[in-house]
Amino acid sequence: MSATVARDETGQEVPSARQQAVLDAVLALLVEEGDQLTMDAVARRASCSKETLYKWFGDRDGLLTATVRWQASRVHAGRDAAGVLDAATLRERLLDFAVTWLDVIAGRTSVVLNRIAIAHAGSRKGNLGAIVLANGRLAIGGRVKPVLEAGRAAGLLAYEDGETAFRTFFGLVGRDIQIRLLLGDALDLDAAEIRRDAARAVDQFLALYGQARP
């Protein structure tokens, strides 16, 4: 109940350096060991006592939640410089989103964390799922939609419902990749393939929603 814990701009507690090390250990274990993560293993890996884990994170769910948040806090990078768009810039911005998104969902960490969250959503108390959703699908949506809006304002895109347009973009980019990875399909994408996929998705999106500037 100390009043000295740091908090970020949204009021979330930000873990101390030692706690971050513990959370990184959790991520490492998750990636290496598949998901049968035990508190003992975490304590051993992080060289801390189980009692400390329980003191800091409450229980196993708390540890998982903190881990997911911690990972999420790393992904939020990316600049969204605003301003009036031209066609080339719009394309480039969409391409950037697409590449970033594919990089994320194709990463081992994302796959494992999504698996955890999905399993969690299956057994009541589905806040983990909500967190992952908020920091994945919804976060990228929140960042892409303003770009689409700017594109429409500049006369480069035509659509009625921004949500629908974004979800189409999402579908064109992700296709079956995420579900296949979650289900254990090998399917490793290298950077070149990701760029190709992203470019194809952007081309298709612009073919559907783009229009020449009037």
Give the nearest distance from C-beta 4 to DNA in angstroms: 9
Calculate Rg over the CA atoms of the chain: 20
Are 85 and 154 in contact, with CB atoms under 8 Å apart?
A: yes
- Among a copy of itself, DNA, none, what does residue 114 contact (CB within 5–8 Å per kind)? a copy of itself
Q: Is 141 exposed, middle or buried (0-12, 13-18, 19+ CB in 10 A)?
A: middle
- The reply on whether position 37 binds DNA by CB under 7 A is yes
* In the complex, minimum distance from the CB of residue 32 to DNA, in angstroms, rounded to a whole number: 15
**What DSSP state is assigned to residue 63?**
H
Q: Does 35 help bind DNA (rule: CB under 7 A)?
A: no
With CB under 7 A as the contact rule, which of the stretches 47-55, 78-86, 156-164, 190-198 interacts with DNA? 47-55
**From the list a copy of itself, DNA, none, which binds 210 (C-beta under 5 to 8 Å, kind-based)?**
none
Residues 50-89 that bind DNA (CB under 7 A): 50-52, 54-55, 59-61
The verdict on 173 binding DNA (CB under 7 A) reads no
Out of DNA, a copy of itself, none, what residue 60 binds, judged by CB under 5 to 8 A for its kind, is DNA
Residue type, 110: S
List of residues contacting a copy of itself (CB under 8 A): 34-36, 112, 114-119, 121-124, 126, 129-130, 132-133, 137, 164, 167-168, 170-176, 178-180, 182-185, 200, 204, 207-208
Residue 159: which H helix or E strand, with range? none
Residue closer to a copy of itself, measured from CB, 14 or 34 = 34
> In the chain, which ranges are continuous DSSP H helix?
17-33, 39-46, 50-57, 60-75, 87-106, 108-122, 127-135, 137-153, 162-174, 177-182, 191-209
Handedness of CA 125, 128, 132, 138 (dihedral sign): positive
